[in-house]
Amino acid sequence: MIEFVDVSVTYDGAAAPVLAGVDLQVPEGELCLVVGPTGSGKSTLLRCVNGLVPHFTGGRLTGTVTVAGRSTRDHHPRDLADVVGFVGQEPLAGFVTEGVEEELAYAMESLGVSPPVMRRRVEETLDLLGLTELRGRPLATLSGGQAQRVAIGSVLTAQPRVLVLDEPTSALDPQAAEEVLATLQRLVHDLALTVVLAEHRLERVVQYADRLVVLPGDGAPVRVGPPTELMAASPVAPPVVELGRLVGWSPLPLSVRDARRAARGLRRRLADNPEAATAAGPAATVAATGPVEEPLAQVRHVVVRYGAVPALRGASLDVRPGDVVALMGRNGAGKSTLLKALVGLVEPASGDVRVGDLRPARSKPSTVVKVVGLVPQEPTDILYADSVGAECAAADREAAAEPGSCLALVRRVAGDVPLDRHPRDLSEGQRLALALAVVLTAAPRLMLLDEPTRGLDYGAKRRLVTTLRGLADAGHAVVLASHDVELVAEVATRVVVLADGDVVADGPTAQVVTASPMFAPQVAKILAPGPWLTVTQVAAALPAETPTMRRFSRRVAAEVTFRRGGDPTAEDAP
């Protein structure tokens, strides 16, 4: 169905090709997963399938890409619209019309499909994707998962034989991601559609994949094959695979179900050593801070309204120094609003927010930033300069910090970042690091992060975890809103679950997270009822036997070094 023969892509002005010598064949009816670190060319590969590369993006493509017998060399993306359906990262950005039905019909109108056929196909697609309830809704009122399903539907009506999706679930909460993935599953199984998709959150999709394309980045050759084989050596891997590699399971399990079957022996071995879980887990920091300190921030019965719609209905929260609090809950539960209230971007209609002895919404922004800092969902919202160097210099000036302190922070979080690069051209991880450093330059004791892991690969996430733990150990407090259960399990000391603007659960991570299958990380699901949440904990509990295990123990050691103020990147550089 899809055939790449010796494909290389070089963008204009780039020194090295993004993709080099890719050979790939995807037969009909397969779900093909493209994985790799940020910047390894996943999006480029996907865009080659329908000819957006190079017809739309420019650059130079050598070799041939053939889809259903049509070569992208002489077919533009619009000529492939009836063969390849392409869904980009931001569904809202790709919508052309304003209503669900019209959006579904748009591609068919362009292709000149006759009205009765259009009518029939729209009805079929509404049923297939479960969109019947939404048919009359304006697109602007859809939730993330609904919008993503409409975006899929809008390309399906042209009846393509291949569906290409670029990170379809990265912006979605776990429930909405389930919805979308279940839809994709159905399309593959019922319609024998060929699906090619890129995704960072492998734990969500890897078990559904028939074929894996691993782009290691840095010019290393692309590997294609069955997931079980390739996962063994992939530079990015979900926790279930990490655990399998650590223990040396073969065949490597990809789903929680398979891993749990294989883990019977492991559970028994770990049961002998339960205290290791607390020793290596995030809870360790709580124990270290000793007696309960005065809260750094207090939120009392806060109500926040947008117009008539309440976003928070009386939520309360205490944050103490050394806490890493994770706010979880579905989209629209009030997580972002709570963060905004803490930093004073929204003023509560009633209730009280205090950070130290400051009421953030009533205080001057320049004093607030010295006490509490927020990294917003879009880090670029707080980046204004045209290069990393200028941004850092501005941050130093604003915070009256010593010149170079911001840059030092950037280097500590993200390693070496080119100073003359525009913030928009950085990778997601580097951009987040820059925003984090800019906010940290003012040295706030309370650090807030809104969805920090959107679009981050595993390496960047690991560095983020190390940084946040380091901050907590240094007496800062961190509050982060996240859908990423694996990240939360790694870093949070406490989890607060919000629903409908209210706190419905608040407690130590291990308790809250294991209580609900929705919020449980993969390791917890595999090793339940044990107290294990992360692979790091398991590695610490097992005597070092295999090379992979040694790498894990090294990482634990590196984190300890970092907490003492050392440089973790020296150890962690892959």
Q: Which of residues 54-73 bind another protein (CB under 8 A)?
A: 55-56
> Angle, nearest 10°, between helix axes 100-111 and 115-128?
130
Shortest Å distance, C-beta 349 to another protein: 17
CB 304 within 8 A of CB 342: no
Q: Which is nearer to another protein, 16 or 93 (CB)?
A: 93
Q: Which residue, 367 or 546, has its beta carbon nearer to another protein?
A: 367
* Cβ 229 to another protein shortest distance, Å: 32
Start-end of H helices in 113-173: 115-128, 144-156
Burial class (CB in 10 A: 0-12, 13-18, 19+), 166: buried
- Which residues in the 77-96 window bind another protein by CB under 8 A? 77-82, 84-86, 88-90, 93-96
Please give the residues from 114 up to 133 whose contact with another protein meets the rule CB under 8 A: 114-115, 118-119, 122
Mode of pairing for the β-strands spanning 309-319 and 297-306: antiparallel
Q: Tell whether residue 509 is a contact of another protein (CB under 8 A).
A: no
The Cα-based distances of 571 to 44, 120, 280, 544, 562 in angstroms read: 31, 59, 18, 18, 10
Question: Pick from 45, 61, 101, 468: which binds another protein (CB under 8 A)?
Answer: 101
Options 187-195, 310-318, 378-386, 559-567: segment touching another protein (CB under 8 A):
378-386
Closest CA to 544 of 246, 277, 284, 237: 246
Binding segment for another protein (CB under 8 A), chosen from 6-14, 62-70, 105-113, 455-463, is: 105-113
Nearer to another protein, 166 or 258 (CB): 166
Nearest to another protein of 269, 359 (CB atom): 359
Residue 80 or residue 327: which is nearer to another protein going by CB? 80
**108 contributes a contact to another protein by CB under 8 A:** yes
Can you tell me which of 19, 105, 388, 468 binds another protein, judged by CB under 8 A? 105
CB of 563 to another protein, least distance (A): 27
Helix, strand, or coil (residue 174): helix
Interatomic CA distance for residues 133 and 184, integer angstroms: 19
Tell which positions 135-174 bind another protein, by CB under 8 A.
136, 138, 140-141, 154-155, 158
Measured from the CB atom, the residue of 69 and 307 that comes closer to another protein is 307
Q: How many residues bind another protein (CB under 8 A)?
A: 72
Strand order in the sheet with 223-225: 84-87, 162-166, 194-198, 31-35, 211-214, 223-225
Strand arrangement of the beta sheet that strand 70-71 belongs to: 19-26, 2-10, 60-67, 70-71
Residue 518, judged by CB atoms within 10 A of its CB (0-12, 13-18, 19+), counts as: middle
Contacting residue, 31, 243, 276, 442, with another protein by CB under 8 A: 442
Alpha-carbon span 73 to 64, nearest angstrom: 7
Taking CB under 8 A as the criterion, the residue among 112, 290, 543, 547 binding another protein is 112
Closer to another protein by Cβ: residue 52 or 256 = 52
Spatial separation of the C-alpha atoms in residues 166 and 88, rounded to whole Å: 5
Residues 326-345 that bind another protein (CB under 8 A): 343-345
* 3-state SS, one letter per residue, for 242-254: HHHHHHCCCCCCC
